[in-house]
Amino acid sequence: MASHTSRRCPLVCVTVVAMTALWTSPAFCSDQSASASTYRRLSPLWGFQPSRLTRRPGTSDSSRLVQVSRASGEDKGFADLQRILRVQAVGSGRGSFILEMGGIRILVNPNLEGSSLQPENVHEEFDYVFLSSEEPEFFHRPTVNKMKLTKVKFVTSQKAGQELAKMMVRNLAVLQNGPGGQCYLQGKDKAAAAVGVLSAPGSGSFPWEKQEQGFIFVNLETGAAVAYEAFGQFLSRGASSNKPDIPEEAYQVDFLITPSLAEGAGVAAGLTEKGAKLQAVLRLPGEGPIQEEESPMAALDKAFGGIDDDPDQFLNFLKDRGPPLSDTQLLMAEANGPPVDLLCARMLMLQLPVLNLQVDSRMLPLHLSKELAAVATQLPDIRWLGRQILMWCGKPQEDLWNDFAVLHQSQTTDLEITGHRGYFGEKALRFGGVDIILRTLALFQADERVGNHGILDIFSEPLHGRFRSILHFAPRTEFFLRPDNFRRYILPRLDRDRTLTPQQIANTMLVMVAPPQTPLKLEAFRLVTERFGAFLAASLSDMAICLCCTSTGWEEVFCNADIRGAARVLWHLCEDVEAPAFPAAARGSRSYAEMLLEAQHLHLVRNLDDFELELEGEDAQDPLLVEDYSFTLLVQRCVARRAFENAGLQLLCEAVGLSFTGLPEGAEEESLKQATEEEQRAITALGLTCTHLAEDARASKRSRES
């Protein structure tokens, strides 16, 4: 949506009730104007501000970086209350949920069957009850009838208000279907923010459909806006309504609450086309169609690219349309589950770009959203790390753990203290995820050593437990091995006398997972080779000796493992015969080919021992059991991928009766490679030229025809 910093909310000029609102109690909404703060341009709720915590101990304020500012005392509690934005699905209805906004608690379309909430106590636990439709799916009479109707404050749509008025309620506000349908609400707590409610078109844009209303809830202090329509068709199907006098806020909503992702996808796309920048879409729980009879337009919508009520399809829908729609988060509420904090999604959108961390448009679990938002916005805390493996032993049950939340439960992390700074930096690099590491790097100056051992802790920790630890730290390792991330975060912090490349790190990890003789080891092996891009290095210059004292990859595989293990390594390295040939720096010499010949008559398949079965499960078996292994096929794979130099390949082919023709090597190979690259560039340039000429010809033809 348009930036909150530049938006003025017209709601502040609205009278206490809409023209058609029927107020039967002066206590329902006090007669006072919105606070002066609602007239001002709203400032961002979260922002990195100068803080002493980013200073290195002993340095002046002029060298400090940026960090989230700290609210203090009474002001902090007041601000926190006004920023609340949570949704909790309750009871059994498709649209039954609690909306907490700015300290005001609103019970929407309550169906409290199956909930711990008691209808008799609703007036005590909530500021308002909101009914958006008179349909039984949303106007649950058994629940409403049990409420103390003389004490509950109701806000309703026009049709729901007509039904509720028959029940002799005392406090009732009816929102007209149109520009006059608006009011603002105040909570019991005087510190709560005022909440504006506006009516907007809903489902039923065609003559055969029932007319429904959509609604916008706006926090008048922060500007956060939430859209909701009972059947999921806010501003009609696909947000396509062109009715006059649609409120401006309808196209400036931050969040969309929907009972159906099938409807929500079209609405999100329609709102985005009209200028909205949705932070998140929250899907309410419930299965099956909302209406008994599907609209004639539903089948047509699906035929033209609509989706089912499915999270995966929804996420793909967002991704296909690119930013800003692809940046929208998907949140899923659970029936009678914990509250979903919508601001977590908003905090991620606002703060994580400051940390240069891109969040994909994918469904975030609630706990993950909260953790990421805390890391992005709160002061550094060693307890973020939680429970981590300190020492990798043979079996998971034998590992030694550190629980940082317990160890430091009554302590505060203060980066002004040298000991805290070193300890936090080291533990964050060793055990933290991408988010914590990036936040940590933002707190340390570029020329400052992070932790006690420096930036290489990011890569040394995954090596401690071999294949288990490499799998455990795979996401963050892959992130920092990407060339652009490596240049940005790792290279500037390396010691000046040390050179290191992602390729060297990946090659070193490869020897830690060889040979791949169990399912988990094979998984780690493929991770390192396919995703990290590792190869079997023939030179020490292609190994990260600073991370692990090792020899070349070929020496490690052939000299430290038995020949069976070496054959396994080459079998899996060369399994994709269509892949590019090994680079020259990854080819084995003739001496290694001679050693490999010892495996020609060996049986490689083995039974997993008791230790391996206990570690990987009783059903685990040697991966080669499902492979059509033979030494001849191994040689053919090696030839296809050029795993050895010509002399070695010639020796292996002669041993199994295959013919072999030597391929260019050395300077000749390099010159052919350069020539091929030049030819490819020439072909690409020619293709672009042809494309432009064809476009010019079509444009000329259209001009003549017109």
Q: Read off the pLDDT of residues 110-136 as tens digits, 9 standing for 90 and up.
A: 999 999 999 999 999 999 999 999 999
pLDDT higher than 90, residue 301: no
The predicted structure's pLDDT at residue 372: 67
Asked if 456 contacts 480 with a C-beta cutoff of 8 angstroms, the reply is no
Give, in order, the Cα–Cα distances in Å from 238 to each of 217, 242, 274, 364. Answer: 20, 11, 11, 24
The predicted structure's pLDDT at residue 459: 94
Single-letter residue type at 650: Q
214-223, 438-447, 565-574, 629-638: least confident range: 438-447
Pairing relation of β-strands 213-219 and 225-229?
Answer: antiparallel
101-105, 442-446, 665-669: least confident range: 665-669
Higher pLDDT, 321 or 305: 321
The predicted structure's pLDDT at residue 270: 93
Classify the C-alpha dihedral 655-657-658-661 as positive or negative.
Answer: positive
Tens-digit pLDDT profile for residues 551-598: 899 999 998 658 999 999 999 999 999 999 999 999 999 999 999 999
- Phi–psi pair at 40, nearest 5 degrees: -75, 160
pLDDT higher than 80, residue 406: yes
Give, in order, the Cα–Cα distances in Å from 240 to each of 93, 202, 204, 251, 316. Answer: 27, 10, 12, 11, 22
Q: Could you tell me the two tokens for 658?
A: 């295959």
pLDDT higher than 50, residue 272: yes
Q: Packing angle between helix 434-443 and helix 418-431, nearest 10 degrees?
A: 150
Task: State whether residue 34 is helix, strand or coil.
Answer: coil
Among 176-185, 488-497, 662-671, the range with the most confident prediction by mean pLDDT is 488-497
Q: What is the mean pLDDT of the chain?
A: 81
pLDDT higher than 90, residue 66: no
pLDDT higher than 70, residue 242: yes
Closest alpha carbon to 181 in 160, 154, 158: 158
Q: 354 falls in which pLDDT band (50, 70, 90)?
A: very low
24-33, 415-424, 657-666: least confident range: 24-33
What mean pLDDT is predicted for residues 380-398?
89
Tens-digit pLDDT profile for residues 15-46: 333 333 333 333 344 333 333 222 222 222 22
78-92, 315-329, 622-636: least confident range: 78-92
pLDDT higher than 70, residue 290: no
The predicted structure's pLDDT at residue 29: 42
Q: 674 falls in which pLDDT band (50, 70, 90)?
A: confident
Single-letter residue type at 574: C
What mean pLDDT is predicted for residues 514-534?
94
Quote the pTM value.
0.56
In angstroms, rounded to a whole number, what is the distance separating the alpha carbons of residues 414 and 128?
Answer: 43
The predicted structure's pLDDT at residue 435: 84
